[in-house]
């Protein structure tokens, strides 16, 4: 039987390990991709910033040279012709072109015309703006970052600068994203493997728990899981499982005890029957003697029949689906009927039986009488001659309480916790002698349970016993 049915579904069917692996790898992969992309863009940014900075520095240098009334031509030549395409300086290979205020080209890096044809920049417009502008420029083979900037000349007029920085190398590095994709794919694979490994390790305690549980059988019900060996999340499960095992074990022990007690109870009367019948058959007897044997056998058979009836009652009462019919009864009258039945026995032992109080309660009449009869017969059995037995019925709000007190032999406190157990007797030999089989109080308890009531017992040896039955109206 499943306590809670789990709807079948694709996600529910996949193992926790696979789900953890998947979620972990997805999270790790997303994180890795984001970090990689961020670093990629950041590197591009830094390199391009350096390119812009280089161009801007270059403009400043040229401005410094050109603004002189008598420009240092050697320095200008070095700056424009010697340095820019110096072999080995490939990252910052650049080309410079300078125009005067009349748009006439003053000087340019050799080979610049082939990559950027001489255009006629609108010097005056740019002069007004006094603003540098950058743009990307590419020809068939290479890519350039081009700066165009007005430049103040020695005669206070404005000329114009064009510097083209070859950025083909950086561009090639960044546009080759194959490596990036391969690295990301490899990291996806790694996170998948790592995810599987982590999930497997994380679930290991669960596998250990499952193995331990699998090994527990009826013969090893005493085995327990050590919650200290489990992680915190599973320790609670381990504890709950141990508690369940405690309950199963105690039920199992009780069941075993019950069947052995039952066998024991049946063995005595059946052995008596066999013994007496064998003796009777072994020699001839008079009709009177046969009659005596039959009467004695009938007594044993009644005992067996009563035992069977009690067991049947208890097993029926345990059925949670059992519905009992209740009627509104006057409890004083009902107790009175039971007391009348036992009056002869009470008189014989010179015990006074009384009942005080009034209340009405919805109960099952037959069960109620049986319950009262069981506790009254006990009180009569265990109260010496000349004693008293008192019923008291009290009501408080919607609670009805029936108390039975006697001044009998009482019960030692160590027996009280087990007193409602089946077949439990304080003194087997004594009870056996008085005909008890230890089912009386278990039946009382199951009747109280069926009425959603409560039962409690207090007792003192040689002083007496009090049984308290509490019901809701
Ligand atoms: N009123 C009582 N005074 C003293 N002992 C009692 C009383 N009621 C029950 N007991 C003790 O509780 C035990 C269990 O009672 P019960 O279940 O009715 O079985 P039994 O068949 O022995 O009467 C009895 O054996 C007896 O020792
Ligand atoms: Mg009894």
Would you state the pLDDT for residue 7? 53
For residue 446, the ligand closest to its alpha carbon is 1
Q: How many CA atoms lie within 13 A of 112 on its CB side?
A: 23
pLDDT of residue 178: 86
**DSSP character at residue 398:** T
The rounded distance, in Å, linking the Cα atoms of 306 and 299 is 10
Distance from Cα 378 to the centre of ligand 1, integer Å: 6
Measured by CA distance, the residue closest to atom 8 of ligand 1 is: 378
CA angle 455, 457, 462 (to 5 degrees): 160
pLDDT band at 456 (very low <50, low <70, confident <90, very high): very high
CA-based torsion, 101, 103, 104, 107: positive or negative: positive
Task: Find the range with the poorest average confidence among 9-13, 205-209, 322-326.
Answer: 9-13
Determine which of 75-89, 183-197, 270-284, 371-385 has the lowest per-residue pLDDT on average. Answer: 75-89
pLDDT of residue 444: 96
Residue 148, SS3 per DSSP? strand
Bridge partners (DSSP) of residue 107 are 98
pLDDT of residue 173: 78
The reported pLDDT for the residue numbered 258 is 82
Give me the mean pLDDT over the 358-365 stretch: 94
Report the pLDDT value the prediction gives residue 117, as an integer from 0 to 100.
Answer: 79
Spatial separation of the C-alpha atoms in residues 107 and 162, rounded to whole Å: 11
Whether 84 contacts 94, CB under 8 Å: yes
| Nearest atom within ligand 1 for CA of residue 464 | 3
CA-closest residue to ligand 1 atom 1: 379
Q: How far is the CA of 276 from the centre of ligand 1 (A)?
A: 29
CB-facing half-sphere around the CA of 49: CA atoms within 13 A: 6
For residue 443, the ligand 1 atom closest to its alpha carbon is: 17
Considering only CA atoms, which residue is closest to atom 7 of ligand 1?
378
Q: How far apart are CA 378 and CA 408, in angstroms?
A: 10
Pocket test for ligand 1, best of 262, 436, 469 (most atoms within 8 A of CB): 436
Residue with the smallest CA separation from ligand 1 atom 25 is 425
Cα angle at 95 between 94 and 99, to 5 degrees? 145
Cα 416 from Cα 448, distance rounded (Å): 17
pLDDT tops 70 at residue 88? no
Task: Say yes or no: CB of residue 440 within 6 Å of ligand 1.
Answer: yes
Which ligand sits nearest to residue 436's alpha carbon? Answer: 1
Residue 461 DSSP class:
T
Q: Reduced to 3 DSSP states, what percent helix, strand and coil does the chain have, rounded to the nearest 5?
A: 60, 15, 25
Atom of ligand 1 at shortest range from CA of 374: 18
The predicted pLDDT at position 130 comes to: 63
Q: Is the CB of 387 under 6 A from ligand 1?
A: no
List, for residues 377-432, the tens digit of each pLDDT value.
999 999 999 999 999 999 999 999 999 999 999 999 999 999 998 888 887 655 54
C-alpha dihedral sign at 254, 259, 264, 269: positive
Ligand 1 closest atom vs CA 406? 1
Q: How far apart are CA 392 and CA 368, in angstroms?
A: 15
Residue with tokens 């009262």: 372
What would the two tokens of residue 215 be? 């090994």
Distance from C-alpha of 330 to C-alpha of 359, rounded to nearest angstrom = 6
Give yes or no for residue 229 having a pLDDT over 70.
Answer: yes
pLDDT of residue 362: 96
Cα(465) to centroid(ligand 2), Å: 13
The Cα 410–Cα 273 span in angstroms is 34
Q: Is 85 helix (H, G, I), strand (E, B) or coil?
A: coil
Number of continuous H segments (helices) and E segments (strands) in the chain? 13, 12
Instruction: Using the predicted structure, report yes or no on whether residue 1 has a pLDDT greater than 70.
Output: no
Atom of ligand 1 nearest to the CA of 425: 25
Average pLDDT over all residues of the chain: 86
**Where does 314-435 show beta strands of DSSP type E?**
327-330, 352-356, 360-363, 388-396, 399-406
Q: Is 378 in the pocket of ligand 1 (CB under 6 A)?
A: yes
Q: What is the pLDDT of residue 120?
A: 60
Q: Are strands 388-396 and 352-356 parallel, antiparallel or unpaired?
A: parallel
Nearest ligand, CA of residue 382? 1
User: Over the stretch 298-327, which tens digit does the pLDDT of each residue have?
Assistant: 988 988 998 898 888 888 888 777 788 999
Distance 336 CA to ligand 2 centre (A): 19
Q: Which of the listed residues 390, 405, 425 should we mutate to test ligand 1's pocket, taking the one with most ligand atoms within 8 A of CB?
A: 425
Residue 408, token pair as written in the block: 């009998």
Which ligand 1 atom lies nearest to the CA of residue 409? 4
Q: What one-character-per-residue DSSP string does 216-266 give?
A: --GGGTT----GGGS-HHHHHHHHHHHHHHHHHHHHHHHHHHHHHHHHHHH
Q: Which residue's alpha carbon is at the smallest distance from atom 19 of ligand 1?
A: 438
Give percent above pLDDT 90 in the chain. 33
436 lines ligand 1 (CB under 6 A): yes
Nearest to 21 by CA among 181, 184, 183, 189: 189
Q: Which residues contact 449 (CB under 8 A, 6 or more apart)?
A: 317
Is the C-beta atom of 238 inside 6 A of ligand 1?
no
405, 387 contact by CB (below 8 A): no
Nearest CA to ligand 1 atom 2: 379
Among 372, 378, 405, 436, which is best to mutate for testing ligand 1, by the most ligand atoms less than 8 A from CB?
378
> What are the tens digits of pLDDT across the range 41-54?
998 899 889 889 98
Q: Which residues surround ligand 2, an ion (CB under 5 A)?
A: 378, 436, 440
The domains of the chain, with CATH numbers, are: 37-175 (3.30.450.20), 323-472 (3.30.565.10)
* For the CA of 428, the nearest ligand: 1
What gap in Å lies between CA 417 and CA 426, rounded to an integer? 11
pTM over 0.75: no
Q: Cα–Cα distances in Å, from 428 out to 181, 383, 436?
A: 86, 17, 9
Q: Ligand 1 atom 11: the closest Cα is on which residue?
A: 426
């Amino acid at each position: 039987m499943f306590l809670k049915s789990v709807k079948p579904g694709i996600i529910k069917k996949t193992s926790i390990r696979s789900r953890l692996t998947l979620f972990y790898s997805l999270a790790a992969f997303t994180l890795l991709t984001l970090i990689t992309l961020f670093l990629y863009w950041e590197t591009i940014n830094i390199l391009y910033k350096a390119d812009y900075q280089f161009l801007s520095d270059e403009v400043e240098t040229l401005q410094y040279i050109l603004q002189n009334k008598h420009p240092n031509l050697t320095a200008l030549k070095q700056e424009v012709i010697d340095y820019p395409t110096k072999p080995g300086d490939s990252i910052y290979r650049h080309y410079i072109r300078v125009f005067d205020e009349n748009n006439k080209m003053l000087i340019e890096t050799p080979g610049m015309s082939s990559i950027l044809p001489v255009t006629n920049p609108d010097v005056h417009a740019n002069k007004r703006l006094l603003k540098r502008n950058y743009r990307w420029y590419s020809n068939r083979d290479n890519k350039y970052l081009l700066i165009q900037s007005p430049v103040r000349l020695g005669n206070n007029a404005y000329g114009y600068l064009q510097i083209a920085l070859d950025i083909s190398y950086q561009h090639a590095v960044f546009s080759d994203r194959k490596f990036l994709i391969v690295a990301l794919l490899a990291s996806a694979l790694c996170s998948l493997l790592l995810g599987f490994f982590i999930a497997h390790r994380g679930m290991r305690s669960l596998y250990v728990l499952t193995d331990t549980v699998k090994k527990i059988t009826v013969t090893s019900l005493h085995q327990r899981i050590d919650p200290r060996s489990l992680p915190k999340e599973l320790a609670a499960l381990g504890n709950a499982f141990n508690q369940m095992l405690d309950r199963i074990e105690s039920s199992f022990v009780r069941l075993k005890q019950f069947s052995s007690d039952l066998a024991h109870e049946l063995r005595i009367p059946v052995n008596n029957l066999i013994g007496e019948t064998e003796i009777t058959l072994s020699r001839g007897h008079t009709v009177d003697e046969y009659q005596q044997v039959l009467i004695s056998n009938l007594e044993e058979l009644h005992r067996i029949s009563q035992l069977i009836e009690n067991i049947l009652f208890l097993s029926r009462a345990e059925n949670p689906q059992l519905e009992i019919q209740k009627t509104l009864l006057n409890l004083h009258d009902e107790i009175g009927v039971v007391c009348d039945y036992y009056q002869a026995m009470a008189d014989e032992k010179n015990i006074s039986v009384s009942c005080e109080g009034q209340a009405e309660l919805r109960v099952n009449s037959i069960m109620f009488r049986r319950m009262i009869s069981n506790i009254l017969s006990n009180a009569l059995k265990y109260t010496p001659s000349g004693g008293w037995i008192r019923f008291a019925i009290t009501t408080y709000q919607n609670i009805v309480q029936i108390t039975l007190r006697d001044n009998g032999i009482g019960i030692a406190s160590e027996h009280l916790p087990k007193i409602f157990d089946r077949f439990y007797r304080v003194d087997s030999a004594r009870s056996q002698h008085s005909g008890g089989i230890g089912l009386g109080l278990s039946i009382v308890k199951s009747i109280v349970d069926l009425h959603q009531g409560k039962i409690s017992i207090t007792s003192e040896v040689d002083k007496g016993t009090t049984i308290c039955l509490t019901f809701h109206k």
